[in-house]
Copies of this chain bind each other. A is one copy, B any other.
Amino acid sequence: MVDVETRRVRDRGRPRSGTTLRPDLSAPEQILDAAAQLFVEGGYSATSTRAIADQVGIRQASLYYHFPSKEHILEALLMRTVSPSIGAARSLQQADADSPARLWALIAYDATQLFQAPHNVGTLYLLPEIRNERFEPFRRERKALRDIYAALIAASIATSVRVDLGPTRGSAEQSSLDYLVDVVFGMVESAIAIRADRAGDDANTLVTTIAQSCLRVLGHTDDPLRTISADGRRILAELTVAQDAAR
């Protein structure tokens, strides 16, 4: 007679070779976790579904039961770098604070996510594969997040910068605003490259520096910036409490 623990061990199949096994996760979650590690550390095109299955300790057929192809795994991983921030942005719309504080909180949430997710999946954003038609849904999701940023940024620019962008709210200003959105969005995503360069960084200091810097780019300084940061920190903490309660 085989006791339950022994059977569970045996049912896992062949011994797992990975260093970051997560037996607490469901099968699809384990596949995503192993794939993220292999894609980030060994490269996407160099990683086979066989290697992912081996890492998890399952057969390739079991992997295909959950994900029809390697592209589906990559797509799921990429979606997870963007979708939670879209959800956070929606919740923050209800928060009791001005636009600049909401923007501060969204930036901090988004950058924390990029910096602290189990593997640095954002490094895969620039893969040539992602320009394929196949990844259009991900590009659309990332565009949706950028659009949320654009609206919040437009509502958060200080008067002095608005003057720099042009005297009217015509097409010239709209286009200058686009470049400003590019730069702020780029600053948030710079968490990816910073993490790749300097893995030991303190997440909290880095994320605060990024959020403060974005608000400075939009013209906020000194005492007003301190108020924005304090408000942003407060509504972000409220969001985190609400998310934890919903779990």
Contacts and interface: CB of A to CB of B under 8 A. Distances in A.
Interface of A: 40-46, 123, 125-129, 160, 164, 175-176, 179-180, 182-183, 186-187, 189-194, 196-198, 201, 205-206, 209-210, 212-213, 216-217, 219, 221-222
A1 B42 CA distance: 55
Contact of A128 (B42, B175, B189, B194): B42
B216 A201 contact: no
Contacts of A190: 182-183, 186-187, 189-190
Chain A, interface SS category: helix
Contacts of A210: 183
A144 to B, nearest CB: 14
Nearest to A44: B43
Contacts of A40: 128
Given A123-B126, A175-B205, 9 more contacts: A45-B45, A126-B192, A176-B209, A179-B201, A182-B206, A183-B209, A187-B190, A189-B190, A217-B217
Name the residue among A175, A186, A187, A222 with the largest chain B CB count within 10 angstroms. Answer: A186
Contacts of A175: 205
A183 B43 contact: no
A222 B160 contact: yes
